[in-house]
Protein backbone atom coordinates (compact mmCIF):
# COMPACT_ATOMS: atom_id res chain seq x y z
CA UNK A 1 0.00 0.00 0.00
CA UNK A 2 1.29 3.42 -0.95
CA UNK A 3 2.22 5.85 1.71
CA UNK A 4 2.96 9.55 1.68
CA UNK A 5 5.22 11.54 3.97
CA UNK A 6 6.79 14.95 4.07
CA UNK A 7 10.47 15.41 4.67
CA UNK A 8 11.05 17.35 7.85
CA UNK A 9 12.16 20.95 7.67
CA UNK A 10 11.77 21.40 3.87
CA UNK A 11 8.97 22.23 1.44
CA UNK A 12 9.48 19.11 -0.69
CA UNK A 13 7.17 16.13 -0.43
CA UNK A 14 8.32 12.52 -0.39
CA UNK A 15 5.90 10.01 -1.86
CA UNK A 16 6.61 6.29 -1.46
CA UNK A 17 5.67 4.33 -4.55
CA UNK A 18 5.38 1.14 -2.49
CA UNK A 19 5.70 0.38 1.17
CA UNK A 20 8.78 -1.77 1.85
CA UNK A 21 9.16 -1.15 5.56
CA UNK A 22 9.62 1.71 7.94
CA UNK A 23 12.40 3.48 5.93
CA UNK A 24 10.50 5.88 3.61
CA UNK A 25 13.66 7.08 1.87
CA UNK A 26 14.46 3.59 0.57
CA UNK A 27 14.45 2.65 -3.16
CA UNK A 28 11.09 3.30 -4.84
CA UNK A 29 10.43 6.75 -3.32
CA UNK A 30 9.90 9.75 -5.64
CA UNK A 31 10.63 13.36 -4.73
CA UNK A 32 8.13 15.98 -5.89
CA UNK A 33 9.61 19.47 -5.91
CA UNK A 34 7.45 22.43 -5.08
CA UNK A 35 6.68 24.79 -7.99
CA UNK A 36 9.74 27.00 -8.43
CA UNK A 37 7.92 29.57 -10.58
CA UNK A 38 5.81 32.02 -8.65
CA UNK A 39 2.79 33.68 -10.20
CA UNK A 40 4.00 37.23 -10.89
CA UNK A 41 0.44 38.58 -11.04
CA UNK A 42 -0.78 41.21 -13.43
CA UNK A 43 1.58 44.05 -14.38
CA UNK A 44 0.44 47.56 -13.48
CA UNK A 45 -2.00 48.89 -16.05
CA UNK A 46 -0.54 51.45 -18.45
CA UNK A 47 -2.93 53.70 -20.26
CA UNK A 48 -2.62 53.96 -24.03
CA UNK A 49 -2.22 57.24 -25.88
CA UNK A 50 -5.78 56.97 -27.15
CA UNK A 51 -7.01 56.91 -23.55
CA UNK A 52 -4.89 59.88 -22.56
CA UNK A 53 -5.35 62.12 -25.59
CA UNK A 54 -8.84 62.63 -27.14
CA UNK A 55 -7.20 63.82 -30.40
CA UNK A 56 -5.31 60.54 -30.74
CA UNK A 57 -8.50 58.65 -29.96
CA UNK A 58 -10.33 60.53 -32.72
CA UNK A 59 -7.56 59.89 -35.20
CA UNK A 60 -7.55 56.15 -34.34
CA UNK A 61 -11.29 56.07 -34.89
CA UNK A 62 -10.80 57.77 -38.27
CA UNK A 63 -8.19 55.20 -39.24
CA UNK A 64 -10.48 52.32 -38.27
CA UNK A 65 -13.50 53.42 -40.26
CA UNK A 66 -11.28 54.42 -43.21
CA UNK A 67 -9.95 50.86 -43.28
CA UNK A 68 -13.47 49.44 -43.23
CA UNK A 69 -14.47 51.75 -46.09
CA UNK A 70 -11.32 50.67 -47.93
CA UNK A 71 -12.47 47.07 -47.50
CA UNK A 72 -15.81 47.97 -49.11
CA UNK A 73 -13.92 49.59 -52.01
CA UNK A 74 -11.84 46.41 -52.43
CA UNK A 75 -14.93 44.16 -52.51
CA UNK A 76 -16.81 46.35 -54.98
CA UNK A 77 -13.63 46.79 -57.05
CA UNK A 78 -13.33 43.05 -57.29
CA UNK A 79 -16.91 42.78 -58.58
CA UNK A 80 -16.24 45.53 -61.15
CA UNK A 81 -12.99 43.84 -62.20
CA UNK A 82 -14.93 40.64 -62.76
CA UNK A 83 -17.27 42.52 -65.11
CA UNK A 84 -14.71 44.67 -66.96
CA UNK A 85 -11.86 42.15 -67.26
CA UNK A 86 -13.73 38.99 -68.34
CA UNK A 87 -11.94 35.75 -69.11
CA UNK A 88 -11.65 35.40 -72.89
CA UNK A 89 -11.38 31.76 -73.86
CA UNK A 90 -7.92 30.95 -75.19
CA UNK A 91 -6.47 34.39 -74.31
CA UNK A 92 -3.90 33.96 -71.51
CA UNK A 93 -3.39 37.75 -71.20
CA UNK A 94 -7.10 38.27 -70.45
CA UNK A 95 -7.05 35.45 -67.90
CA UNK A 96 -3.99 37.02 -66.25
CA UNK A 97 -5.61 40.47 -66.02
CA UNK A 98 -8.85 38.96 -64.69
CA UNK A 99 -6.99 37.03 -62.01
CA UNK A 100 -4.81 39.99 -60.98
CA UNK A 101 -7.64 42.52 -60.63
CA UNK A 102 -10.28 40.25 -59.08
CA UNK A 103 -7.68 38.79 -56.71
CA UNK A 104 -6.25 42.19 -55.77
CA UNK A 105 -9.73 43.52 -54.93
CA UNK A 106 -10.47 40.53 -52.70
CA UNK A 107 -7.05 40.75 -51.04
CA UNK A 108 -7.51 44.47 -50.36
CA UNK A 109 -10.98 43.85 -48.90
CA UNK A 110 -9.78 41.11 -46.57
CA UNK A 111 -6.61 42.92 -45.55
CA UNK A 112 -8.32 46.23 -44.77
CA UNK A 113 -11.08 44.44 -42.85
CA UNK A 114 -8.54 42.53 -40.77
CA UNK A 115 -6.26 45.49 -40.06
CA UNK A 116 -9.27 47.67 -39.20
CA UNK A 117 -10.59 45.12 -36.73
CA UNK A 118 -7.20 44.67 -35.06
CA UNK A 119 -6.62 48.43 -34.90
CA UNK A 120 -10.04 48.94 -33.33
CA UNK A 121 -9.31 46.29 -30.71
CA UNK A 122 -5.82 47.56 -29.91
CA UNK A 123 -6.40 51.29 -29.86
CA UNK A 124 -10.04 51.95 -28.98
CA UNK A 125 -11.53 49.01 -27.08
CA UNK A 126 -10.91 48.76 -23.35
CA UNK A 127 -7.71 46.89 -22.49
CA UNK A 128 -8.37 46.37 -18.79
CA UNK A 129 -7.38 42.84 -17.79
CA UNK A 130 -9.91 40.82 -15.83
CA UNK A 131 -10.24 37.34 -14.37
CA UNK A 132 -13.42 35.49 -15.29
CA UNK A 133 -14.07 32.54 -12.95
CA UNK A 134 -15.85 29.43 -14.25
CA UNK A 135 -19.32 28.67 -12.96
CA UNK A 136 -21.40 25.52 -13.20
CA UNK A 137 -23.90 25.28 -16.07
CA UNK A 138 -26.74 25.87 -16.73
CA UNK A 139 -26.65 29.47 -15.67
CA UNK A 140 -29.15 30.70 -13.16
CA UNK A 141 -31.20 33.83 -13.54
CA UNK A 142 -28.73 35.95 -11.70
CA UNK A 143 -25.87 34.79 -13.94
CA UNK A 144 -27.83 35.52 -17.04
CA UNK A 145 -28.52 38.99 -15.79
CA UNK A 146 -24.83 39.36 -15.07
CA UNK A 147 -24.02 38.20 -18.60
CA UNK A 148 -26.38 40.76 -20.02
CA UNK A 149 -24.61 43.37 -17.93
CA UNK A 150 -21.25 42.15 -19.24
CA UNK A 151 -22.50 42.54 -22.80
CA UNK A 152 -23.75 46.00 -21.96
CA UNK A 153 -20.37 46.91 -20.44
CA UNK A 154 -18.54 45.40 -23.43
CA UNK A 155 -20.76 47.38 -25.74
CA UNK A 156 -20.05 50.51 -23.74
CA UNK A 157 -16.30 49.90 -23.60
CA UNK A 158 -15.93 48.91 -27.26
CA UNK A 159 -18.13 51.76 -28.33
CA UNK A 160 -20.02 49.45 -30.69
CA UNK A 161 -23.31 51.30 -30.22
CA UNK A 162 -21.79 54.69 -29.49
CA UNK A 163 -19.32 54.86 -32.40
CA UNK A 164 -21.93 54.58 -35.09
CA UNK A 165 -19.56 55.46 -37.94
CA UNK A 166 -17.14 52.68 -37.02
CA UNK A 167 -19.92 50.17 -36.38
CA UNK A 168 -21.81 50.93 -39.59
CA UNK A 169 -18.67 50.87 -41.71
CA UNK A 170 -17.74 47.50 -40.20
CA UNK A 171 -21.22 46.11 -40.94
CA UNK A 172 -20.98 47.50 -44.48
CA UNK A 173 -17.56 45.87 -44.98
CA UNK A 174 -18.83 42.53 -43.67
CA UNK A 175 -21.87 42.65 -45.95
CA UNK A 176 -19.78 43.64 -49.00
CA UNK A 177 -17.02 41.11 -48.37
CA UNK A 178 -18.90 37.96 -49.64
CA UNK A 179 -19.98 39.74 -52.85
CA UNK A 180 -16.87 38.79 -54.91
CA UNK A 181 -17.35 35.13 -53.93
CA UNK A 182 -20.99 35.23 -55.06
CA UNK A 183 -19.97 36.95 -58.31
CA UNK A 184 -17.45 34.21 -59.07
CA UNK A 185 -20.28 31.63 -59.10
CA UNK A 186 -21.30 33.04 -62.46
CA UNK A 187 -18.22 31.42 -64.02
CA UNK A 188 -19.46 27.93 -63.17
CA UNK A 189 -21.54 27.77 -66.34
CA UNK A 190 -21.53 29.72 -69.59
CA UNK A 191 -24.56 32.01 -69.91
CA UNK A 192 -24.90 32.22 -73.67
CA UNK A 193 -24.61 28.53 -74.57
CA UNK A 194 -26.18 25.36 -73.29
CA UNK A 195 -23.41 23.47 -71.43
CA UNK A 196 -25.12 20.16 -72.18
CA UNK A 197 -24.89 20.86 -75.91
CA UNK A 198 -21.29 22.04 -75.59
CA UNK A 199 -20.26 18.75 -74.02
CA UNK A 200 -22.48 16.49 -76.11
CA UNK A 201 -20.67 17.13 -79.41
CA UNK A 202 -17.02 16.82 -80.40
CA UNK A 203 -15.08 17.87 -83.52
CA UNK A 204 -15.45 14.43 -85.06
CA UNK A 205 -17.65 14.37 -88.12
CA UNK A 206 -18.12 12.31 -91.24
CA UNK A 207 -14.92 12.23 -93.30
CA UNK A 208 -12.55 13.82 -90.70
CA UNK A 209 -9.21 12.01 -90.80
CA UNK A 210 -7.70 10.49 -87.69
CA UNK A 211 -4.33 12.16 -86.95
CA UNK A 212 -1.63 11.48 -84.38
CA UNK A 213 -1.72 13.49 -81.17
CA UNK A 214 1.68 15.18 -80.87
CA UNK A 215 0.95 16.72 -77.46
CA UNK A 216 -0.51 20.11 -76.50
CA UNK A 217 -1.82 22.03 -79.51
CA UNK A 218 0.20 19.96 -82.01
CA UNK A 219 -1.55 17.72 -84.52
CA UNK A 220 0.56 15.06 -86.24
CA UNK A 221 0.16 13.24 -89.52
CA UNK A 222 -3.04 11.56 -90.62
CA UNK A 223 -2.94 7.79 -90.06
CA UNK A 224 -3.22 5.19 -92.84
CA UNK A 225 -4.97 1.96 -91.94
CA UNK A 226 -1.97 0.08 -93.38
CA UNK A 227 0.33 1.69 -90.76
CA UNK A 228 -1.66 0.28 -87.83
CA UNK A 229 -0.27 -3.15 -87.02
CA UNK A 230 -2.00 -5.69 -84.78
CA UNK A 231 -1.40 -4.82 -81.12
CA UNK A 232 -0.39 -1.20 -81.77
CA UNK A 233 -2.02 1.77 -80.02
CA UNK A 234 -2.24 5.37 -81.30
CA UNK A 235 -3.35 8.49 -79.43
CA UNK A 236 -5.50 10.26 -81.97
CA UNK A 237 -7.13 13.66 -82.53
CA UNK A 238 -9.23 15.04 -85.41
CA UNK A 239 -6.97 16.24 -88.27
CA UNK A 240 -8.75 19.62 -88.27
CA UNK A 241 -8.22 20.20 -84.52
CA UNK A 242 -5.96 23.21 -85.24
CA UNK A 243 -8.94 25.12 -86.67
CA UNK A 244 -10.80 25.02 -83.33
CA UNK A 245 -11.32 28.27 -81.44
CA UNK A 246 -10.34 26.60 -78.21
CA UNK A 247 -7.98 23.80 -79.21
CA UNK A 248 -7.34 22.29 -75.79
CA UNK A 249 -11.00 22.13 -74.77
CA UNK A 250 -11.95 20.53 -78.08
CA UNK A 251 -9.07 18.09 -77.78
CA UNK A 252 -10.14 17.16 -74.26
CA UNK A 253 -13.48 15.97 -75.64
CA UNK A 254 -12.33 14.46 -78.96
CA UNK A 255 -9.19 12.55 -77.89
CA UNK A 256 -9.34 8.92 -78.99
CA UNK A 257 -7.38 5.68 -78.55
CA UNK A 258 -6.90 3.74 -81.77
CA UNK A 259 -6.11 0.07 -81.30
CA UNK A 260 -5.78 -2.83 -83.73
CA UNK A 261 -6.78 -6.33 -82.63
CA UNK A 262 -6.90 -9.60 -84.43
CA UNK A 263 -10.27 -9.41 -86.19
CA UNK A 264 -11.35 -12.77 -84.81
CA UNK A 265 -10.96 -11.44 -81.22
CA UNK A 266 -13.49 -8.64 -81.74
CA UNK A 267 -17.01 -9.13 -80.40
CA UNK A 268 -19.25 -6.70 -82.26
CA UNK A 269 -23.00 -6.38 -82.39
CA UNK A 270 -24.36 -6.60 -85.96
CA UNK A 271 -25.33 -2.89 -85.95
CA UNK A 272 -21.74 -1.98 -85.07
CA UNK A 273 -20.04 -4.26 -87.58
CA UNK A 274 -19.02 -1.32 -89.78
CA UNK A 275 -17.76 0.82 -86.88
CA UNK A 276 -14.34 -0.86 -87.03
CA UNK A 277 -11.98 -1.42 -89.96
CA UNK A 278 -9.95 -4.64 -90.34
CA UNK A 279 -9.82 -5.06 -86.56
CA UNK A 280 -9.00 -1.38 -85.94
CA UNK A 281 -11.25 0.18 -83.29
CA UNK A 282 -11.38 3.73 -81.91
CA UNK A 283 -12.64 4.54 -78.40
CA UNK A 284 -12.90 7.77 -76.46
CA UNK A 285 -9.88 8.17 -74.19
CA UNK A 286 -11.97 10.01 -71.57
CA UNK A 287 -12.86 7.65 -68.72
CA UNK A 288 -16.58 7.31 -68.09
CA UNK A 289 -16.00 7.40 -64.34
CA UNK A 290 -14.82 10.96 -63.70
CA UNK A 291 -12.96 11.77 -66.89
CA UNK A 292 -9.30 10.79 -66.47
CA UNK A 293 -7.40 9.73 -69.60
CA UNK A 294 -7.60 5.97 -70.05
CA UNK A 295 -4.17 5.18 -71.36
CA UNK A 296 -2.82 1.86 -70.13
CA UNK A 297 -3.33 -0.92 -72.67
CA UNK A 298 -2.69 -4.56 -71.86
CA UNK A 299 -1.98 -6.00 -75.27
CA UNK A 300 -2.50 -9.68 -74.42
CA UNK A 301 -5.73 -9.36 -72.44
CA UNK A 302 -7.13 -6.48 -74.56
CA UNK A 303 -7.83 -4.57 -71.37
CA UNK A 304 -7.64 -0.80 -71.08
CA UNK A 305 -6.89 0.52 -67.60
CA UNK A 306 -7.70 3.94 -66.18
CA UNK A 307 -4.91 4.82 -63.71
CA UNK A 308 -7.09 7.10 -61.57
CA UNK A 309 -9.41 4.55 -59.92
CA UNK A 310 -8.50 1.36 -61.78
CA UNK A 311 -11.54 1.00 -64.01
CA UNK A 312 -10.87 -1.57 -66.73
CA UNK A 313 -12.51 -1.79 -70.13
CA UNK A 314 -12.51 -4.70 -72.58
CA UNK A 315 -11.34 -3.39 -75.95
CA UNK A 316 -12.41 -6.58 -77.71
CA UNK A 317 -15.98 -6.30 -76.37
CA UNK A 318 -17.07 -2.73 -77.19
CA UNK A 319 -14.99 -1.36 -74.30
CA UNK A 320 -17.41 -2.70 -71.70
CA UNK A 321 -16.52 -2.16 -68.03
CA UNK A 322 -15.01 -5.30 -66.51
CA UNK A 323 -13.74 -3.80 -63.26
CA UNK A 324 -13.82 -0.58 -61.24
CA UNK A 325 -16.17 2.30 -60.55
CA UNK A 326 -16.95 3.32 -64.18
CA UNK A 327 -20.58 2.61 -65.01
CA UNK A 328 -20.68 2.52 -68.81
CA UNK A 329 -18.42 1.52 -71.73
CA UNK A 330 -16.07 3.96 -73.41
CA UNK A 331 -17.96 5.54 -76.34
CA UNK A 332 -16.83 4.13 -79.69
CA UNK A 333 -15.99 6.34 -82.66
CA UNK A 334 -17.28 4.74 -85.88
CA UNK A 335 -14.42 4.67 -88.42
CA UNK A 336 -13.63 3.56 -91.97
CA UNK A 337 -11.02 4.53 -94.64
CA UNK A 338 -11.13 7.08 -97.46
CA UNK A 339 -10.05 6.52 -101.06
CA UNK A 340 -6.38 7.15 -100.14
CA UNK A 341 -6.39 4.55 -97.36
CA UNK A 342 -6.48 7.09 -94.50
CA UNK A 343 -8.62 6.31 -91.49
CA UNK A 344 -11.63 8.66 -91.24
CA UNK A 345 -14.58 9.06 -88.87
CA UNK A 346 -18.00 7.94 -90.06
CA UNK A 347 -19.66 10.47 -87.74
CA UNK A 348 -19.30 12.10 -84.33
CA UNK A 349 -19.59 9.85 -81.26
CA UNK A 350 -23.14 8.60 -81.01
CA UNK A 351 -23.26 9.31 -77.27
CA UNK A 352 -21.63 11.89 -74.99
CA UNK A 353 -18.06 11.20 -73.96
CA UNK A 354 -16.86 11.43 -70.38
CA UNK A 355 -18.32 10.79 -66.93
CA UNK A 356 -21.42 8.71 -66.43
CA UNK A 357 -23.54 11.48 -65.00
CA UNK A 358 -24.53 11.98 -68.63
CA UNK A 359 -26.69 8.93 -68.19
CA UNK A 360 -28.93 10.96 -65.90
CA UNK A 361 -29.64 13.48 -68.67
CA UNK A 362 -31.35 10.86 -70.78
Q: Which residues bind ligand FES (CB under 6 A)?
A: 287, 289-292, 306, 308-309, 311, 324-326
Backbone torsions φ then ψ of 141, nearest 5 degrees: -55, -45
d(CA 100, CA 264): 58
d(CA 319, CA 41): 76
Q: Which is nearer to ligand FES, 122 or 309 (CB)?
A: 309
Q: Please state whether the peptide bond connecting residue 138 to the residue before it is cis, i.e. omega within 30 degrees of 0.
A: yes
State CA 181 to chain mean position distance.
14
Helical segments of 85-124, H only: 92-123
Asked whether 342 and 209 are in contact (CB, 8 A), the reply is yes
Q: Which is nearer to ligand FES, 169 or 284 (CB)?
A: 284
Q: Which is nearer to ligand FES, 16 or 287 (CB)?
A: 287
Distance in Å, CB of 98 to ligand FES, minimum = 30
Distance in Å, CB of 270 to ligand FES, minimum = 30
Q: Which is nearer to ligand FES, 67 or 305 (CB)?
A: 305
Distance in Å, CB of 355 to ligand FES, minimum = 8
d(CA 102, CA 77): 8
Report the DSSP beta bridge partners of residue 219. 213
Q: Which is nearer to ligand FES, 119 or 328 (CB)?
A: 328
Backbone torsions φ then ψ of 31, nearest 5 degrees: -105, 120
Backbone torsions φ then ψ of 236, nearest 5 degrees: -130, 145
Distance in Å, CB of 342 to ligand FES, minimum = 31
> Strand, coil or helix: what is 108?
helix
Strands (E), 21-165: 29-32
Give all strands of the β-sheet with 303-305 in edge-to-edge order: 296-298, 303-305, 312-314, 320-323
Asked whether 85 and 126 are in contact (CB, 8 A), the reply is no
Distance in Å, CB of 293 to ligand FES, minimum = 9
Distance in Å, CB of 288 to ligand FES, minimum = 8
Distance in Å, CB of 287 to ligand FES, minimum = 3
Q: Which is nearer to ligand FES, 239 or 314 (CB)?
A: 314
Q: Which is nearer to ligand FES, 209 or 289 (CB)?
A: 289
Distance in Å, CB of 303 to ligand FES, minimum = 13
What DSSP string describes 237-303? Answer: EETTGGG-SSHHHHHHHH-EEEEE--GGG----GGGGGGSBTTEEEEESB-TTT--B--EEETTTTE
Q: Which is nearer to ligand FES, 125 or 290 (CB)?
A: 290
Indicate if the alpha-carbon torsion angle 187, 188, 194, 197 is positive or negative.
Answer: positive
Asked whether 305 and 312 are in contact (CB, 8 A), the reply is yes
Distance in Å, CB of 300 to ligand FES, minimum = 21
Q: Which is nearer to ligand FES, 151 or 323 (CB)?
A: 323
Amino acid sequence: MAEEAKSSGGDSAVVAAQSHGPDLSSAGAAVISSDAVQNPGLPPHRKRVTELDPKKEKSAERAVYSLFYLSIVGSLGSVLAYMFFPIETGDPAAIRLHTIFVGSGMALALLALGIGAVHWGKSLMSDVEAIDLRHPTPSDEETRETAAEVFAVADEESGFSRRTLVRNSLLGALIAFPLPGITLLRSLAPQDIDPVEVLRHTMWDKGIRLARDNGGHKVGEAIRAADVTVGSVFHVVPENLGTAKDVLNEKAKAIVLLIRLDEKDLKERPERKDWSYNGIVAYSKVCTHVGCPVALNEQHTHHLLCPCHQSQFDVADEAKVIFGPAKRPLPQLPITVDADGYLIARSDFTEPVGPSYWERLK
